Chains A and B, each alone.
Chain A
Amino acid sequence: MMLRRYRLEVIALFAIVAFIGLFLLTTSFAPDAEFAGADTAGSAQVAALTGRSAEEFTPLVPQWEPPSGEIESALFALQAAGGGLVAGYIFGRWKGEAKKG
């Protein structure tokens, strides 16, 4: 009964555990993998196809760059936190409304 009620939660949990397992497998089979962004890999491929070095591709529109990786991850976290805040607030409000009937 419990399992039926929380079937989706259980599936999600398994999927996430499997995802982590896959990551561990990847790291053990390919210890050199850097896990840089696919964006970066794609850009490197563009450079390889054109025979130019990646540094030659300069922004067409001037662009601000986060001064360090730490600041970049802070801004990414901010993006996620903003989304989490909104989703949490609305789910909470719906829950409250449902209780009041």
Chain B
Amino acid sequence: MHIMEGFLPLEWCIAWWVLALPFLGWGFFRLRRVLDADREALPLLGVTGAFIFILSSLKLPSVTGSSSHPTGTGLSSICFGPGITSVVCLVVLLFQSLFLAHGGLSVLGANIISMGVVGPMAGYLVYRALRDSRVNVYMTVFLVCAVADICTYVTTSLELALAYPAAVGGVATSLGVFLGIFAVTQVPLAIVEGIVLALVFKYIIQLKPEILFRLRIFPERAITEARGGA
């Protein structure tokens, strides 16, 4: 989902940075609040953050003949919300900008918006909609993670389309082209990511259900039910 360094005009770099900064500020604020309130949240933050590190390092081949990587942001978004997730993404994207030449400092704002803000936010909306419903916990986690993943790449496409509208057809045509590259490639990856993270969530439920109760991530009934089955 990276936009590569130099591939976004300066004015767009600044615009996305300006948009990203308040989210990061909110994220840092939330992070302090959560950790001050409950030190036991730290290991859970570690696990959800670790999977962002792992999954976003895997470049996987897809049906379009190009490769892309999952984002892993869904779990973190469920457990801690999109604000804190954007801070974790800042760390990952900074690492990749500085050491891997994936993304870059000028386009970091745009990449944070796609991977750290819009994706997790979309996932979070799915989570809020399904949290108290009868939908199975694992199905919810799957949907959240897949949606967060896809929406990240849709946002990347939109960012590029806005900066580079096609001569004929403008932004809409450009968007179609970039979606064809980023979003289509991402569909199988998003599905696998959703399933894998649902499995990770199963192990969290089995090993540390207390923390999920305490942070009120899912209703106790849903967690207890999930511990029994699947």
In whole angstroms, what is the CA distance A35 to B43 when docked?
36
Task: Output the nearest chain A residue to B138 by Cβ-Cβ distance.
Answer: A8
Dominant SS among interface residues on chain B: helix
Interface on A for B, CB 8 Å cutoff? 4, 7-9, 11-12, 15-16, 19, 22-23, 26, 30, 32-43, 45-46, 49-50, 57-61, 63-66, 72, 75-77, 79-80, 82-87, 89-91, 93-95, 98
A46 lies within 8 A of B57 (CB):
no
Show 24 A/B contacts (Cβ-Cβ < 8 Å), sorted by A.
A8-B195, A12-B199, A16-B192, A33-B66, A36-B66, A37-B59, A37-B67, A38-B185, A39-B3, A40-B4, A41-B64, A41-B66, A46-B160, A49-B164, A49-B174, A50-B164, A61-B104, A79-B53, A83-B51, A83-B52, A83-B53, A83-B54, A84-B54, A86-B46
Contacts A39-B102, A87-B50 given; indicate if A23 touches B61 (C-beta within 8 A).
yes
17 more CB-based (< 8 A) A-B contacts, given A8-B199, A12-B195: A4-B229, A12-B198, A15-B195, A38-B153, A39-B102, A42-B160, A46-B7, A60-B10, A60-B13, A63-B104, A66-B99, A72-B101, A79-B57, A79-B95, A83-B52, A87-B54, A90-B47
